[in-house]
Amino acid sequence: MKTTISLKRLVPGLIIGPASWLGPYIVMNSLFLPALIQHLDAPHKIELVALFSTCGMIVAAISNMIAGALSDKTKSRFGKRAPWIMGGAFVFMLAMMAASVSPTVPVLLAAWMVGQAALNFIVAPMVAWIDFAPKDGRGTASSAYGGLGMALGNNGFNVIGAMFLSQFRLGFVIFGIIAFVGVLIAVLIVHEPSNVDDVDAPKQPKPKLTLKDAKAIFPGWSVGRDYYLALMGKLFQGVGNFAITGYILYIMTDFLHRGSQTQSSIQLINLIMLIFGIFMGFVAGPVSDKFKILKYPVGFSTIFLAFGALALFFLRDNIGIIIYAFAAGIGMGMWNSLDNLLNLEVIPDQNRVAFFLGVYNLGNTVTQAIAPVIAAAVISLFGFSAIFLFSFVFSLIGGILMLSIKSVKR
């Protein structure tokens, strides 16, 4: 029988949980890591950020699929998700402490990769908590995870993280501890029931794995069409978004030349995005549940992201920064509130929820890895200004792919 957890427990956990892993990761990835790389090897900082992103993408992709698959098959007195979530949080904290004392780029890279693997052992099982929600409350649960939890993670922590720009090594330690403690609180609140006594379907003899059996892992296009469209849509939208946020420090210093106003500008952007993200988190899920509308708000949310990118490209001043923050706040708030629910609706195998949701949520880590690599190439070829046009195009493509989904009507 399918496990159902009350929204009274699930919603707080789905807010605190993703905020606790995503917030520290965003701060370290967008602020502390570039700052430490610049400290260790300033002449090659752009190339090194791209290197870290490429390696992180590979590690994240592999560890995420492994974590999701293991979580789906786990039986314990703490449930199938909690043991992996807590193990990942503990190792992530240790890895960030190691990163804080790294004396060279190779040591920093090794610590960061361990952290990337551990992070995905939090991500893949945790997003599957949404599937514990009652049928008529899945929109609310998705909104809690993406709209509120991820809004706090994406923007709330950066407001505080910017204060540690001059003490970035200490920042790694503090935010690593915050991640562990926050995830622990979320796990205790959700309090998954034991699944030791769950009855499995009769086991069939396992055939020898061949290349034809790859469909057992990823189904063919005819079965998984809408899932793949959702996945590609998230990747395009994520790359468009993180192409800007991943280089926000360098955009402020090297492109907009904010100088002493760099810290306050980053805080302003994240504060505005946080406010709108939280607002959409409260509104989007319940509205989706009531009016049975899902695909359209997710698809059209990318228009706001695209508009925000153009504002920075054309204005390049305080007004452009504020318009970008407003537009991105509304767009990301709407997207984060509902995109996980949309994906849950198009999963091709309901017995592997954590696996497929985990792969989908690679969009939160892999796109942060892909975006700086592509952005670095765009910057080197065309200059910083081209990154905003790149973000505009990718955001729109992401929305079009989402709107092409057929199994979810509106």
Q: What is the pLDDT of residue 210?
A: 47
CB contact at 8 A, 30 and 246: yes
The pLDDT assigned to 79 comes to: 86
How many Cβ atoms sit within 10 Å of the Cβ of residue 324?
24
* Contact indicator for 227, 346 with CB cutoff of 8 Å: yes
Q: What angle do CA 175, 358, 300 make, to 5 degrees?
A: 90
What count of Cα atoms within 13 Å lies in the side-chain half-sphere of residue 159?
13
Cβ atoms of residues 301 and 251 within 8 Å = no
- State the DSSP string of 246-290: TTHHHIIIIIS--GGGHHHHHHHHHHHHHHHHHHHHHHHHHHHHH
DSSP string computed for 81-149: SHHHHHHHHHHHHHHHHHHHT--SHHHHHHHHHHHHHHHHHHHHHHHGGGGGS-GGGHHHHHIIIIIII
Read off the tokens for 353. Answer: 């929820």
Residues of 189-206 as b/e, b for ≥16 C-beta within 10 angstroms? bbebeeeeeeeeeeeeee
The two tokens of residue 190 are 């959700």
Q: What is the spatial distance between Cα 340 and Cα 91, in angstroms, rounded to a whole number?
A: 26
Structure confidence at residue 201 (pLDDT)? 44
Q: Counting every residue, how long is the chain?
A: 410
What CA–CA distance (Å, rounded) separates 176 from 180?
7
Q: How far is CA 90 from CA 27, 142, 149, 183, 193, in A?
A: 18, 25, 20, 9, 22
Residue 280, pLDDT score:
83
Tens-binned pLDDT, residue by residue, of the chain (410 aa):
578 888 899 999 999 999 999 999 988 988 899 889 999 988 888 888 888 888 888 888 888 888 888 888 888 888 888 999 999 999 999 999 999 999 999 999 999 999 999 999 998 899 888 888 887 788 788 888 877 887 788 777 877 887 888 888 999 999 999 999 999 999 999 999 888 877 654 444 444 444 444 456 777 887 889 999 999 999 899 888 888 877 777 788 878 888 888 888 888 888 888 788 788 878 887 888 778 888 999 988 988 989 998 998 888 888 888 999 999 889 888 888 888 788 888 888 777 877 787 778 776 667 766 777 788 888 888 887 888 899 999 999 999 999 999 888 77
Give the C-alpha separation, 17 to 184, whole Å. 8
Give the burial string for 101-125 (b: 16+ CB within 10 Å, else e).
ebeebeebbbbbbbbbbbbbbbbbb
**What kind of architecture, by CATH, is found in domain 7-195+223-403?**
Up-down Bundle (1.20)
> In this predicted structure, what is the pLDDT of residue 209?
40
- What is the distance between the alpha carbons of residues 153 and 26, in angstroms, rounded to a whole number? 7
Question: What one-letter code names the amino acid at 47?
Answer: E
